[in-house]
Structure 1
Amino acid sequence: MVKGKGKVKGKKITLKTAKNSIRILFDGKRRLDLSKMGIAALPKCLLKLSDIEELDLSRNFIRKIPDWIQRFQNLRWLDVHTNQIEKIPVSIGQLQNLLYLNVCNNKLTANGIPVELSQLKNLRQLNLGLNRIDMLSTTLGNLKELKEVCVFDNQLTSVPSSILNLPKLKKINTKRNPIQDTEEKTEEEQETIQRVKCLHLVNEKDLCSPCLAKCQMEKSKLMKLKNLMNSAMRNPFSINLVSPNSTAKETMINGGEWEQKRDIQ
């Protein structure tokens, strides 16, 4: 994280400099790359380029994302990692086309993450790693398109089940947080955490026939075990009853660390 006392004066960016920093991507989209430019504040002249699709402001000295960021309605990719940002503006919720948001390695706290972030209905990747966040809002569970979440190197003691249960979530990185031991959690929270720990999502078409059959067999075993446990919970007085010629089976699900992907850079 960028360290230092007092305000950094920073380099001033002109409209000409910004225009010369636009790159055309392989898919024809335009990326405005102002990374590593020594910028401390964003000039309003950038509004003349508000039709760009990607904006890279990483590795600067930026303390604030201006409210007028909402004018960048075509923005699908916003990278502001490694700056000095303390708060994400409420107006970011207006960027309905945003797919990728990286605010890693800043000075964000829980108060610096607005509820309006949950309005980004198309967001696929969110990186909040390397900040000072001690709590995540349950409203992030509204981001139904989220596939990857990074919250490593923060001060989290738990992750809301609304996030863990996101329908398209494939990877979540919670490394180096003081996450509470699952023994201190409720039964429902433990089940949710174990589900994500053991989760490896693939398409059936990507598996060979033997592997697909094995996965289906394991799934069947887990479902039978779950039904057995649910039945036992509903009939607690029958747990110790043994029927003739019954066979006890034990299924062990190996634990594991949270899945993680490389930092979203």
Structure 2
Amino acid sequence: MAVGKKKASKVKITLKMAKSSLRLTADGKRRLDLSKRGIDTFPKCILKLADVEELDLSRNRLRKIPESIERFVNLRWLDLHSNQIEQLPDAIGKLQNLRHLNLCDNRLARVPPEIGDLRDLRSLNLGMNLMESVPSAVAGLTELQELGLFDNKLTQLPAGVTDLPNLSKVNTKRNPVTRRDGTDPARLAERLYLLNENGMCATCLKKCQEEREKLYPRGSADRPIRRPYFSGLSTPNSVAWETQVVWRMKTPGQSKQR
């Protein structure tokens, strides 16, 4: 055998392994965590655990999510970030109870318009993909509060997206995007999803402070009020989110003791 790179062996998830990865959240929901397992194919065996409310398949090597994802009808939280997903099935729209969907850091050039059927969705992270457009159906997600579109190839947002009634955080950074009225969404300070200062290097922090002074000079009536920072709050695809998962998880045994 020639000396060189060894071919990566495929990781097979068995039903026994999946069952051992079940946890109970602080509010009594069942969560299946198969993150960081090196999985490159959606494990069919987990369809036997399709009654879980939370599913974490992040940080793997998945390229495709099958239509059978529709069997997870109880899902309220689905994390698929940091994979190699190139295609999302139309069946994603059948997850009517879904509230949080993280698709950040994949290879998606598009998402199906059926994503607009997720009427209960609160947060949607599509950042760090290859998308040139967003389905107009996203403008119908009236419960949406957080939307991540950063690091894509978007040139325009669908009409009505930034006017969603409950939307409070939008990140369109590093896109050649402008609004239909010609303004840059990055200048909509109250709608912009920002990284906290504690997560920035000194150089970037100084640059941001300088830009802020240009936009809102000291003493300006339009200068936004600085809000307090509360450590540990989650942000899309961040370490804080991962930290939050740690403290909110309890094993079934621990739950019974309390």
> Following TM superposition, by how much is the alpha carbon of 1:193 offset from its aligned partner in structure 2, in angstroms?
4.8
Q: Does 1:28 align with 2:25?
A: no
What is the identity, as a one-letter code, of the residue corresponding to 1:153?
A: D
SS in 1 for 2:151: coil
Q: Name the counterpart of 2:90.
A: 90
Give distance in 1, aligned partners of 2:150 and 2:158. 15
Corresponding residue number in structure 1 for 2:130: 132
How do 1:214-225 and structure 2 match up within 5 A?
A: none
Tell me, which stretches of 5 or more residues in structure 1 are unaligned?
Answer: 1-6, 201-250, 256-260
Q: Mapping of 1:98-247 within 5 angstroms?
A: 98-110=98-110, 113-180=111-178, 186=181, 190=183, 193=185, 197-199=188-190
Aligned pairs for 1:248-259 within 5 A: 253=222
Gaps of 5+ in 2: 1-6, 192-219, 225-233, 239-258
Check whether the contact 1:10–1:61 (CA below 8 A) recurs between aligned residues.
Answer: no
3-state SS of paired residue (2:32): strand
Number of aligned positions between the proteins: 196
After superposition, give the CA deviation of every residue in 1:122-169 in whole Å (9 maximum; x if it has no partner): 000000000001111221111110000001111112222311110100
> Any idea what the Cα deviations from partners look like across 1:224-254, whole Å, max 9, x if unmatched?
xxxxxxxxxxxxxxxxxxxxxxxxxxx9856
**Structure 1 letter corresponding to 2:190:** L
Q: Which residue of 2 aligns with 1:78?
A: 78
TM-score by length of 1: 0.68
The code of the aligned residue for 1:262 comes to T
- Larger of the two Rg values belongs to structure: 1
Contact 2:113 2:136 in 1 (8 A): no
* TM-score computed with the length of structure 2 as normaliser: 0.70
Distance across 2 between alignment mates of 1:37 and 1:193: 37
Report the residue type matching 2:188 in the other structure. K
Equivalent position of 2:38 in the other structure: 38
Give distance in 2, aligned partners of 1:153 and 1:43: 29
Specify whether residues 164 and 9 from structure 1 end up closer, same or farther in structure 2 by C-alpha distance, changes over 3 A only.
farther
CA distance in 2, matches of 1:86, 1:8: 21
User: Segments of 4+ in structure 1 off by > 4 A?
Assistant: 251-255
